[in-house]
Amino acid sequence: MRIVLTRWPHQAGQLEAGLREVGVDVGFLPVTEQRLPQDLGELQAAVADLAAGRVDWLLLTSRTTVWALQQAGWDGTVPSGTRIGVTGSGTAQALPRGSEDVWMPHREASAAGILTCLPDAEPGERVLLPQSAQARPQLVEGLRASGRDVTQVTAYETVSRVTDGGLPPSQDPGALGPGDLTDADVMLVTSSSAARAWSQLKLADGVRPRLLAIGRPTAVTLAELGLPARTLDGVSAGAVMRALRRG
C-alpha cells in the first residue's frame, strides 16, 4: 500500500516519517503551491508587533503559515507575555524553536477546535492571526465575537497547479504525476485547497484511489465536491492507520 499526500516532498514532516516507520510507502503528488504576498509589508509589520510584545496570542493554523512568517523575518521567538496557539501537532512541529509551551485544542484540530477550547478572553486580549488568503471567516469572526482584538493578516495564498486536468512537469524528482497513481493508492488530502485541485485532476481510466482527509474542513470540501473521504482523528501515522481500518 502507498499513501500519497497532496503536497511537496520538502513539506514532509513527522507524519510521513511515522508512516515509513510502520512500513508504509509514502508518495507526494503536489496539486497546489503556496505563494507569499507580492508586498510583504503587512506581514513584516505583524512580525514587528509580535517582537515588540504588542500581541497576547499568536494563532497559527498551518505549517505554511509558520513558513510565511519566517520569510517575513520571524525567528520563532515570542516575548514572555505572548502565547502561541496552533490547530494541531503538525503545525506545532513546524515551529523553529520547538513546541513545548504551545497551546493546541484537545478535541478537534481545526478552527472550530480552537474556538471551542481556547481559554476565556482576558479584557483587551490581542490576537495575531496570519492566514491563507483563502481562509474561511469562521475563526476570525468567532475570535472577535468572543471580545478579542484580532489582527488578521494574509500570510500566503494557495493556488492550484492543475491546468486542463493535468499538472505541469515538476522540478522535484521526488514528486509524482497523475500517471504514476494506481487504484491501490490511498490519497491523503491535506487541505480544502488541495481538495478542490484534486477534484480537477484527470486520472487514468479505472484509477480511483481511496481518499483520506486531514481535518474536518477538508472532508467537508471533498464531500461538497462529491468525493467522500474518511477524516483523520489526528495528524499522525496512527490516525492514518485507524482511518484505513474503519473502512
**What cell numbers appear for 121 in the block?**
478572553
Residue 238 belongs to a domain: no
In a domain, 47, yes or no: yes
Cβ-proximal residues to 173 (8 Å cutoff; 6+ apart), any chain: none
Show the cell assigned to 187: 490519497
Question: Do the domain assignments include residue 228?
Answer: no
Q: Within a domain: residue 170?
A: no
> Residue 196 domain-assigned?
no
Domain that holds residue 132: 36-117+124-157
CA angle 237, 193, 36 (to 5 degrees): 100
Poorest-pLDDT segment among 25-29, 31-35, 112-116, 222-226? 112-116
How many domains would you assign to the chain?
Answer: 1
| Residue 167 forms part of a structural domain | no
Q: What pLDDT, in 10s, does the model give residues 84-141? A: 999 888 788 889 875 568 999 987 778 888 999 999 999 999 999 999 998 889 999 9
Q: CATH number, domain at 103? A: 3.40.50.10090
- Listing DSSP states for 2-47 in one string gives EEEESS-GGG--HHHHHHHHTT-EEEE---EEEE--S--HHHHHHH
- Give per-residue pLDDT as tens, 192-218: 999 999 999 999 998 999 999 998 889
Q: Model-level pTM greater than 0.75?
A: yes
